[in-house]
Structure 1
Amino acid sequence: MTDTRTALVTGGTGGLGSATISAFLAAGWRVVAPARPGTAARLPAGAIPVDADLTDAAQVRAAAEAAASDQRAPLKAVVNLAGGYAGSGLIADTPVEEFEAMFAANLRPTYLTTAAALPHLVAAGGGSVICVSSRAAVSPFPGAAGYVTSKAAVLAFAETVAVEYKKQHVRCNTVLPSIIDTPANRAAQPDADVSRWVSPEEIAAVILFLASDASAPTSGARIPVYGAA
């Protein structure tokens, strides 16, 4: 191991998550990846899987403890990639249950994972939290109020972490992708010009930089990763 640090990466079974875990492993990090039971086989080889429902506070705490369990590789980065998308029509036509479901998918896992990991980051002398919002949070489009608003809430949460934990040497930054070039997005938009989309590997490189010491002066930033979109 060339870098004795641990990263806790959620959403590791998705396209962006897989690319991010692979980037951290290639850089020598120990990577712990919470995943729903039965999905660990979809994680990149080398990641340490932990069964966890990221909406369950107790299970998330256990995942954070697993990430911080190796004293030779202290927990120094938390990467919040878990989330989802659902369109719901115009606001007046959107049931409040569908609106709130986007907060459960996008904000709750980020909140629970970060809250569970922060004491470990502080104990390790500081570290980096990276959250994933969306271009839609700062440039909304119609028909997805729950998604847009929940991703804006992720931004606000990340900036609050940056302010609250600055003196404890914990940084928190957010990346804002446009459309990510994943198989799922290609299937959902078969007629799109994918040359304008951003690749998971490009975003993963930015996330790895934000976890590294090279980005030490940076906290509370909103970083666009739009590709050519």
Structure 2
Amino acid sequence: MTATLPLTAIVTGGTGGLGTAVTEHLLSRGWRLVVPWCVEAELDRVPVHPDLELIHADLSVESDVEAVIDLATKDDQRPLYGVVNLVGGFVSGQRVHETPIEVLDAQLSINLRIAYSLVQTALPHLIRRGGGSVVCIGSAAAVRPFPGAATYIASKAAVGALVEALAVEYACDNIRVNGLLPTMIDTPANREAMPEADRTSWARPSDIAEVIAFLLSDSSRAVTGATIPVANTAGSC
């Protein structure tokens, strides 16, 4: 199946700082979107739109993941084609010998397990409909580590490995899988956490949204198994 609209995409984290930009951009491109949410206060960030369906879901719970997939696959006229995994978490500040193992477990859960679970549940539908495109958010830190965030870095590196494995495993099903490696993303939460930081090189959510739209489209039909850096190149000069 080619990415000829009208089609449906799931955007996890679609009410977050990055997700809002992705949601708005994909809606403007004609996609039907299913966006799981868990923080009610974030709902004010997304527009009211006839092609946007919001669903309250804890993506660490299998039954909630299944409910998201059920909603995304209910319209045979707009079949599920895209799966965009934006949910993630970040911790830093301690070296490995100072970090409880539970921190690693939590980072693997939010950064890797949720993406794995959602894609795993969506795959039978993508296979049956003849293909699709999966996009996962990794991190530039996975290839350029920095001290004090080993649990985060390890979990994001695992996302990159998952992308590469899925791309090989489902190539014959016409399912493409790619990952993005953003630098620090210029979101309100990151600005609040680092008010004195130089933001000139931070990746812009609108730019990332355009890359995701490209990876969901037929224009990227030759791209799979890639982990693509995304940054504010203009700000780094």
TM-score normalized by the length of structure 1: 0.96
Between 33-42 and 88-97, the greater mean CA deviation after superposition: 33-42
| Off by >3 Å, runs of 4+ in structure 1 | 37-44
Is contact 1:88–1:94 with CA below 8 Å preserved after alignment?
A: no
Is contact 2:96–2:148 with CA below 8 Å preserved after alignment?
A: yes
Aligned partners of 2:44 and 2:189: how far apart in 1? 18
- TM superposition shift of 1:65: 1.5
Q: For residues 12 and 164 of structure 1, do their structure 2 counterparts lie closer, same or farther at Cα, with a shift above 3 Å needed?
A: same
Structure 1 counterpart of 2:48, one-letter code: A
Q: What does 1:198-217 align with in structure 2 at a 5 Å threshold?
A: 198-217=203-222
Verify: 1:121 aligned to 2:123, yes or no: no
Is contact 1:88–1:98 with CA below 8 Å preserved after alignment?
A: no
After superposition, what is the alpha-carbon deviation per residue over 1:150-208, rounded to whole angstroms, capped at 9, x for unaligned?
00000111111101110000000001000111111111111111121111000000000
After superposition, what is the alpha-carbon deviation per residue over 1:53-86, rounded to whole angstroms, capped at 9, x for unaligned?
0111121011011101101101010000001111
Q: What does 1:178-217 align with in structure 2 at a 5 Å threshold?
A: 178-217=183-222
Structure 1 counterpart of 2:56, one-letter code: D
After superposition, what is the alpha-carbon deviation per residue over 1:74-125, rounded to whole angstroms, capped at 9, x for unaligned?
1010000001111140001101011211111111110111111111111111
Between 54-63 and 36-45, the greater mean CA deviation after superposition: 36-45
Aligned partners of 1:203 and 1:179: how far apart in 2? 12
Aligned partners of 2:23 and 2:158: how far apart in 1? 25
Q: Which residue of 2 aligns with 1:32?
A: 34
Q: CA RMSD in A?
A: 1.4
Identity %: 47
Q: Which residue of 1 aligns with 2:46?
A: 43
Structure 2 counterpart of 1:111, one-letter code: Y
Is contact 1:134–1:177 with CA below 8 Å preserved after alignment?
A: yes
Q: Which residue of 2 aligns with 1:14?
A: 16
Q: What does 1:164-183 align with in structure 2 at a 5 Å threshold?
A: 164-183=169-188
Is contact 2:182–2:230 with CA below 8 Å preserved after alignment?
A: yes
- TM superposition shift of 1:222: 0.9
Aligned partners of 1:44 and 1:200: how far apart in 2? 16
**Where does structure 1 lack aligned partners over 5 or more consecutive residues?**
none
Verify: 1:85 aligned to 2:90, yes or no: yes
Aligned partners of 1:109 and 1:40: how far apart in 2? 21
Q: What does 1:42-61 align with in structure 2 at a 5 Å threshold?
A: 42-46=45-49, 47-61=52-66
Aligned partners of 1:15 and 1:186: how far apart in 2? 11
Is contact 1:11–1:80 with CA below 8 Å preserved after alignment?
A: yes
Is contact 2:185–2:205 with CA below 8 Å preserved after alignment?
A: yes
TM-score normalized by the length of structure 2: 0.93
Q: For residues 44 and 106 of structure 1, do their structure 2 counterparts lie closer, same or farther at Cα, with a shift above 3 Å needed?
A: farther
Aligned partners of 1:173 and 1:72: how far apart in 2? 26
Aligned pairs, how many? Answer: 228
Verify: 1:131 aligned to 2:136, yes or no: yes
Structure 1 counterpart of 2:16, one-letter code: G
Structure 2 counterpart of 1:163, one-letter code: V
- TM superposition shift of 1:41: 4.3
